[in-house]
Structure 1
Amino acid sequence: MRRAGVLLALTVMVLAGCRTEPGWHPSAPFAPSLRPAFGARVTDGKLQIWTGSPCAGTRFTLAFEPSRFELQLTSGVEGGAAVEYLTLGGPYPPGLAISKPLPEGFDWRSQDSMRISIYGGLTFWGSTTDLAEVVHGSGQHPVDTYWFQDVGWLNPAEVAAQDGKTFLATCTADPAKKG
């Protein structure tokens, strides 16, 4: 009986770790062949997000850890809204409206990480970024560069050169899975 209790506790810990552990797991079912990443930076005190490639989706979610608070933006446009850049707190791209707001007084700077998830498009990769690197590194890099987790600080030319070769931007099709 005690052994069953220990096994149950270990199983719960493993499952909880899998559910909350950020990062790319290339051996996971349906995982892309390259690490997915999006860009983030702080400009004028606001969190700026760059998907790295154009996205069309019906719902965009920004989830923060450890609070587990989420901002959900939903599109009323048929086929989804076209998004490449988002600024937390808005204004949001045309066709997107807040369907689940962050709590009043929420401070994203107190969070460890943020995950982006896009639904309703043809190609999309959820990925997570370390917000400490975004906060501390933004002032040390040119305004056209964004932090792409585990890839580095990239400007538009560097993203264009590396997307689909060394990493996958949020809505870039996986070149290894084209058929």
Structure 2
Amino acid sequence: MLAATAVLALTGACRSDGGWHPDAQFAPSLRPAFGARVTDGQLRIWTGSPCRDVTRLALAFGPERAEWVLTAPTEHPATAEHLTLGQTGPGFAVATPLPAGFDWRTAQWVRISVYGPEAWGSYATIADVIDGSARHPDDTYLFQDVGWLDTAGVATGNGKTFLTTCTPDPARR
């Protein structure tokens, strides 16, 4: 049931053009977003709040459609919040590595998909992440179409002006 809920949420929240469409079936009432930044040449992802009971997490890069997939056993789901591309977090194993020779810096966008109780797929534009990371403090991440946010900024806007990856939609409570 959890996976089905996540698939429905992801299908409605993201279309092939990458943007949020509030009129799409199953779309959340607020724009979903995750944080992305480059630190020491590594792509770092912040879901904005903990994603609990996760059995699968994927970062897809496009338009190439290269994908990095982490999984956790259904009997022992994991928690995700901060990730570094190429490194697994506690409880996760790499199910699908990026293709040999793939350079994420050449992708146009990265999309996150999380399979858990309630999760929203969203994307970030790679050029914006790369360009902005050097100009913003190390504790801030680009939340696409929301801005460069730190912990306080996420706490202020999450659930009010946007939704982090695993924040329930306040319009459906």
Q: TM-score surpassing 0.5? A: yes
Displacement of 1:122 in angstroms is 1.1
Match of residue 137 from structure 2? 142
> Which structure would you say has the larger Rg?
1
Consecutive unaligned residues of structure 1, counting only runs of 5 or more, are: 1-17
CA contact (8 A) 1:125 1:171 kept: yes
Provide the secondary structure at the position in 1 that maps to 2:118: coil
Partner of 2:64: 67
Question: What is the rounded CA distance, in whole Å, between the counterparts of 1:144 and 1:80 in structure 2?
Answer: 28
Given residue 80 of structure 1, which amino acid in structure 2 is its aligned partner? P
Q: 2:33 aligns with which of 29, 34, 37?
A: 37
Aligned CA RMSD, in angstroms, stands at 1.2
Q: Which position in structure 1 is the counterpart of 2:101?
A: 105
TM-score by length of 2: 0.89
Unpaired segments ≥5 residues, structure 2: 1-13
TM superposition shift of 1:105: 1.4
Hey, what's the Cα distance between the residues in 1 that align with 2:74 and 2:65?
A: 28
Kindly provide the amino acid, as one letter, of the partner of residue 110 in structure 1.
T
How many angstroms apart in 1 are the aligned matches of 2:55 and 2:89?
A: 12
How many Å apart are 1:89 and its aligned residue?
1.3
Give the letter for the 1:129 counterpart. Answer: A
The yes-or-no answer on 1:117 pairing with 2:126 is no
Name the TM-score, length of structure 1 as normaliser.
0.86
Alignment partner, residue 51 of structure 1: 47
Distance 1:140 1:78 in 2: 42
Aligned residues: 159
User: Per-residue deviation at 1:66?
Assistant: 1.1
Q: Match of 1:137, SS?
A: helix
Q: After TM superposition, what 4+ stretches of structure 1 lie above 6 angstroms from structure 2? A: none
Does residue 21 of the first structure (1) align with residue 17 of the second (2)?
Answer: yes
Greater fraction of residues in helix:
1
* Residue number among 68, 79, 83 corresponding to 2:80 in the alignment: 83
Number of the residue aligned with 1:133:
128
